[in-house]
Chain A
């Protein structure tokens, strides 16, 4: 709807703004590509050629590509990415294992919500960095603290979204189900549970981003393996081209994981095609 209005608006207006507003999805992607290329070229020219800043602080794009090549050739990238991915998926799986049942319980039982809710919100209110020193004490220096921070960062959006989905189930669907003979168990299986699915996926998408942040926090502070450790180590040895390459990988990872959730949703809940932002 909004895209349609934007395009109609564009036909009336003139100039560059109108041109951009009127672009098709493919045109918009092209615009972003051109934008990125221009920035990269300018960056390369200003830092790489004119040397306006010390390239150690801000390595030009071609150096970053080199750094990426080095990380790849030495096997550093493969090894550490595997460690990070392992921690991420383990932590995320734990968050699902805890968040989904607890969220369902909170959503369906007011007493559980009253007891667990305030505690959950309190833990969620503190940034995950705050739990980092504790996690070191509890889980040592391996991947333990990383998994812990991924899980604790990802669990709350899943939990709260599912609980909200349960509570906001359309009462008219519940009435209809009762008319056609639904037992209490039927109501949960056939109405409440499916109703939470769109909320679950909204939570999973948030959780994917927060999990990546949690992973970075843990790996940047005293971990010897993982992409975060690569960033710290290369920066400490002034190989900032490699640091930037590693940062790019984290960005790509974060985007890839949210996209993965989107793909899962399209397969598992094809009936839920919302016309929303970024879809």
Chain B
């Protein structure tokens, strides 16, 4: 896609990003994220693993252009991020669907403010995307009529309908029941493999981090920072049963488990503040 063939620059470059919030009530400053560096290559699937409140969502929001960093910057395709853009889409943990819009109109929302409705076949595109995520027949349903898993399928369709290069997913399966979670994880893996998108996937599930990621970025909390970056090196597709008995999977799982447990213990001892 880029003209430079010799060692292409990473698609996403996070450079020394620090985010601080002033808390007016106590007059103190909270450092949510402290000096995060991260490069993500085009087509890479990166999972971010860490305890709740470790600032991983904040980093994602900076990449999305929703939060301006206090220090540092994010480059996408070499250009600094100054706000949201059509090259990046977000799938939210709480789905964030507009309750007054049907499934069709919620998916259309991903197009309509990016001049996507000017192309003649946008209806067909919305319809195809709805069918791609397995919601054919539910075009006219309202979000409240759908299960959590189905609502997140709508969220996913809305994100990919405008064909962004980068998909940012903030614990997309966090609010979905366990069985649906398994099914949807496999579907997401297949979908991303087919479309070749660059993905940043936030999770607090070790299993999800290993089974989806090419690389796993482990976060620590108080303040949020990168603790370790691990290449998974597992063959795809990993949705089949075998992946979870692969020795590499087990090794990764034990290692991540140790890090997170260690981290959780220190956090609960030292991190009294919320």
By a beta-carbon cutoff of 8 Å, the part of chain A in contact with chain B is 170, 172-173, 175-183, 186, 190-191, 194, 197, 269-273
CB distance from B77 to the nearest CB of A (A): 17
B113 with A181: CB separation less than 8 A = yes
Contacts of A272 in B (CB 8 A): 99-100
Interface residues of B in 79-121 (CB under 8 A from A): 84-86, 88-90, 92, 94, 96-101, 109-110, 112-114
Query: How far is B92's CA from A271's CA once the two chains are assembled, in angstroms?
Result: 21
A172 with B94: CB separation less than 8 A = yes
A197 with B100: CB separation less than 8 A = yes
Query: How far is B99's CA from A176's CA once the two chains are assembled, in angstroms?
Result: 13
A-B CB contact pairs (8 Å), 7 listed:
A175-B96, A179-B84, A181-B114, A183-B113, A190-B98, A190-B109, A270-B142
Contacts of B92 in A (CB 8 A): 172, 175-176
Known: A186-B113, A272-B100. A181 touches B84 (CB 8 A): yes
The verdict on B222 contacting chain A, using a C-beta distance below 8 Å, is: no
CB distance from A190 to the nearest CB of B (A): 7
Contacts of B97 in A (CB 8 A): 176
Which of the residues B66, B101, B112 comes within 8 Å of A178, measured between beta carbons? B66
The verdict on B64 contacting chain A, using a C-beta distance below 8 Å, is: yes
CB distance from A110 to the nearest CB of B (A): 15
Known: A172-B92, A175-B96, A271-B100. A180 touches B113 (CB 8 A): yes
CB distance from A188 to the nearest CB of B (A): 13
B90 with A176: CB separation less than 8 A = yes
CB distance from B74 to the nearest CB of A (A): 15
B100 with A180: CB separation less than 8 A = no
The verdict on B158 contacting chain A, using a C-beta distance below 8 Å, is: yes
Known: A179-B66, A180-B158, A271-B142. A172 touches B96 (CB 8 A): yes
- Which B residue's beta carbon lies closest to that of A273? B144
A271 with B114: CB separation less than 8 A = no
- Which B residue's beta carbon lies closest to that of A171? B96
B90 with A182: CB separation less than 8 A = no
Query: How far is B164's CA from A180's CA once the two chains are assembled, in angstroms?
Result: 11
- Which B residue's beta carbon lies closest to that of A173? B96
Contacts of B90 in A (CB 8 A): 175-176, 179
Q: Is the interface of B mostly helix, strand, loop or mixed?
A: loop
Contacts of A178 in B (CB 8 A): 66, 84
B98 with A173: CB separation less than 8 A = yes
Chain B 149-165 interface 0/1 with A at a Cβ cutoff of 8 Å (1 = within): 00000000010001000
Contacts of B142 in A (CB 8 A): 270-271
Q: Counting chain B CB atoms within 10 Å of each CB, which of A175, A177, A186, A272 scores highest?
A: A175
Query: How far is B92's CA from A190's CA once the two chains are assembled, in angstroms?
Result: 18
CB distance from B53 to the nearest CB of A (A): 17
Query: How far is B142's CA from A64's CA once the two chains are assembled, in angstroms?
Result: 49
Contacts of A173 in B (CB 8 A): 96, 98
CB distance from B24 to the nearest CB of A (A): 15
Contacts of B110 in A (CB 8 A): 180
Contacts of A186 in B (CB 8 A): 113
Contacts of A269 in B (CB 8 A): 100
A180 with B144: CB separation less than 8 A = no
Chain B 125-149 interface 0/1 with A at a Cβ cutoff of 8 Å (1 = within): 0000000000000000010100000
**Given A178-B84, A194-B98: 16 more A-B contacts, CB < 8 Å:** A170-B96, A173-B98, A175-B66, A175-B90, A176-B92, A178-B66, A179-B90, A180-B89, A180-B113, A181-B86, A181-B114, A191-B98, A197-B100, A269-B100, A272-B99, A272-B100
Contacts of B66 in A (CB 8 A): 175, 178-179
Contacts of A197 in B (CB 8 A): 100
CB distance from A155 to the nearest CB of B (A): 25
- Which A residue's beta carbon lies closest to that of B162? A180
A182 with B96: CB separation less than 8 A = no
CB distance from A197 to the nearest CB of B (A): 7
CB distance from B158 to the nearest CB of A (A): 7
- Which A residue's beta carbon lies closest to that of B161? A180
Contacts of A170 in B (CB 8 A): 96
CB distance from A241 to the nearest CB of B (A): 49
Query: How far is B113's CA from A175's CA once the two chains are assembled, in angstroms?
Result: 14
Query: How far is B66's CA from A182's CA once the two chains are assembled, in angstroms?
Result: 12
Contacts of B86 in A (CB 8 A): 181
Query: How far is B109's CA from A182's CA once the two chains are assembled, in angstroms?
Result: 10
Query: How far is B202's CA from A238's CA once the two chains are assembled, in angstroms?
Result: 78
- Which A residue's beta carbon lies closest to that of B86? A181
CB distance from A234 to the nearest CB of B (A): 48
Known: A271-B144, A273-B144. A179 touches B98 (CB 8 A): no
Query: How far is B158's CA from A173's CA once the two chains are assembled, in angstroms?
Result: 13
